[in-house]
Amino acid sequence: MKLTQSPFGDKTLLFTIENDNGVIVEVTNFGARIVNLFVPTDSGYKNIVLGFDSIEDYKKETYCGATIGRVAGRIKNGEFSLDESLYKTSVNQSGNTLHGGTSGFDEKIWNYEVNETDQSTSIIFSINSPHSENGFPGNLEVSVTYTLDNLNTWSVSYQAKSDKDTIFNPTNHVYFNLTGHPSKPIDDHSLQIFSEEFAPVNTDTTVTGEKRSVIETPYDFRTPKKLKSTFESVDAEVKKVQGIDHPFFLTCSELDQIAAKLISPDGKIKVEVYTEEPTIVVYTANIVEGVPLMHGEKLIQHGGITFETQVAPGAIEFEDFGDIILLADENYASQTKYKISF
């Protein structure tokens, strides 16, 4: 294992971790985000995640690769009830709170520590989110640990504690494109999701509260299929978001059970997702207007796909969507792993 660090701009750092197999992960403490993930191939290194060359571009597209919080997804009308109190949160998209409001975890400069062993290297990012920040109750201490090991697994581990009852539902907003080129759509990638139900959405992409079977829908990924068939569908849900922007309820949420798999068009690169979270929100880069160049290439529509592991958005409204309440002095812990084969 090798670790180096270099300036990334505005007093932030870029950490480069390389394992013994030549896999390279680059992360920064701006937004506790992944910047690059290189895998060695017959034709040279491929960067299989979307990202930018500069912190200035990340300030324009702050969700890309970032840690998202306090609450991932949308809070309808920017309000929620907890302990018989009504809280109003920072509204930043169509009258709703998206990804924790402005500014969220994705715009913070995080503290960091490094932990190195023979078989893995970790960067532990941490912040304190003060009481009432963006309207959320409780002083919240948060840490996010990025680990690359010699099994070619990139792990994201979250820990948190609040001094008041609050809501908490973090995720990571990594985008994958296994061709290594954001200018190429993911149409010919094959996707598998171990899910039998998804959540339909309203026109503003908030969830309706329904859980719908994936059977006989374009969102049936129980066996691997190319994404092109979904993108070309005339289904109302697909048309509404121009692709996929939906929560998928997982049949199993254990770290030893695969939750999703993405396969490159040539079948040589695979990413398997393992998570303790009950849901994956899949978003397929449906709206790309105004996105800065990515390493010299223009991001095309459907040029990437996210696997946002979390409790389903809408959990604070709909009881059977899950629970995102974090009680005072209770320890929050969750982990997601991305296993890479090439």
Would you please indicate which residues are annotated as catalytic (active-site) residues?
A: 173, 308
Q: What type of residue sits at position 139? A: N
Largest Cα–Cα separation, the chain: 59
Q: CA 38 to CA 196: how far, in whole Å?
A: 32
Distances from the Cα of 10 to the Cα of 7, 28, 108, 182, 294, angstroms = 8, 12, 12, 26, 20
Cα(252)–Cα(61) distance, integer angstroms: 32
Tokens at 272, concatenated = 């398997």
Q: Cα–Cα distance between 13 and 147 in angstroms, integer?
A: 17
The contacts of residue 3 (CB under 8 Å, 6+ apart) are 15, 16, 17, 18, 114, 116, 121
Beta bridge partners of 80: 87
